[in-house]
């Protein structure tokens, strides 16, 4: 197999949170296929143990990423790491005026869980002088922030800002060979979705397609690894992201894409060749 990133090499260790199924497990399979050792971490101890048993050289670890001390303990236990994927995530937080407990849970897992992973693992990786790879799983909802689960949007927007800052810090650190990347999945038939519906929607990608796109993006040196799905093309994603940014630049109402006064303008924008 062709080289993707110098950190992805036989016998190097990869740590993946939220690794019991879905995108995390698909990436674990892809890295194991390339000879890496894999440590899967997940809040569901039974499922993560079963997942690890399905890979050739893997261990499973029950872990709540919202618990900083537990993440730090895992980092000490595992020792030198070459690839870190902060992938654990959850939803169902609610809008800005509801469900305080849901907000705590979503931000604790999605945002603070990523920060805990970064701060527990990355300093040692950066100081080692060895090639390293950080992948943080974001979301298009952290960029275009659609109405609905505002807590989820806030958490994923935070991951975007955190990962951008991390990449800048690593890039400007003398002797550091660690790169950071933001994975931005599209509509994906994850393990969480499988537990709610028996059949994959036609519009959704399989997790393995996301893993393939991730490795492609890393090989190309992309920071923002934006994934398509079976209903959304790369061009559609770019135009939606540009529209969202122009809300600020042009002084439009917040979330104008979903504002009735701007529905026609948005439709025209998406249909244009710009």
CB 240 within 8 A of CB 247: no
CB atoms within 10 A of CB 170: 18
User: What are the strands of the beta sheet with 224-226, ordered from one edge?
Assistant: 58-62, 37-42, 13-17, 83-86, 132-137, 178-184, 224-226
Cα→Cα distances 138→26, 39, 164, 190, Å: 16, 21, 11, 14
Alpha helices, H only, the chain: 22-33, 45-53, 68-78, 100-106, 112-127, 141-144, 150-171, 191-194, 207-219, 234-249, 263-271
Question: Alpha-carbon Rg of the chain, whole angstroms?
Answer: 19
What is the C-alpha end-to-end distance of the chain, expressed in Å?
38
Which residue in 156, 273, 218 sits closest to 31, CA to CA?
Answer: 218
- Catalytic annotation present for 224: no
Catalytic residue among 103, 121, 152, 205: 152
DSSP 6-38: TTS-TT-EEEEET-SSHHHHHHHHHHHHTT-EE
Cα 38 → chain centroid = 17
Catalytic residues: 152
């Amino acid at each position: 197999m062709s080289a993707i990133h110098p950190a992805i090499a036989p016998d190097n260790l990869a740590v993946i949170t939220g690794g019991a199924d879905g995108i995390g497990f698909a990436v674990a399979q892809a890295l194991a296929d390339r000879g890496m050792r894999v440590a899967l971490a997940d809040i569901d101890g039974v499922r993560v143990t079963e997942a690890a048993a399905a890979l050739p050289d893997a261990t499973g670890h029950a872990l709540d990423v919202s618990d900083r001390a537990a993440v730090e303990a895992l980092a000490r236990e595992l020792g030198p790491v070459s690839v870190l994927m902060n992938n654990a995530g959850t939803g169902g937080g609610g809008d800005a005026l509801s469900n305080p407990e849901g907000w705590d849970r979503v931000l604790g897992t999605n945002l603070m869980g990523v920060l805990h992973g970064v701060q527990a693992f990355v300093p040692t990786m950066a100081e080692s002088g060895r090639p390293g790879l950080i992948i943080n799983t974001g979301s298009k909802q952290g960029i275009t922030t659609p109405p609905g689960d505002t807590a989820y949007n806030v958490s994923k927007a935070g991951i975007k800002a955190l990962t951008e800052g991390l990449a800048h810090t690593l890039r400007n650190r003398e002797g550091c060979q660690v790169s950071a990347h933001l994975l931005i999945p599209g509509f994906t038939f994850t393990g969480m979705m499988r537990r709610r519906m028996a059949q994959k929607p036609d519009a959704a990608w399989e997790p393995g397609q996301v893993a393939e796109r991730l490795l492609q993006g890393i090989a190309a040196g992309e920071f923002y690894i934006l994934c398509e799905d079976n209903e959304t093309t790369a061009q559609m994603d770019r135009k939606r992201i540009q529209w969202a940014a122009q809300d600020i630049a042009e002084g439009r109402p917040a979330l104008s894409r979903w504002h009735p006064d701007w529905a026609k303008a948005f439709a025209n924008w998406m249909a244009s060749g710009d």
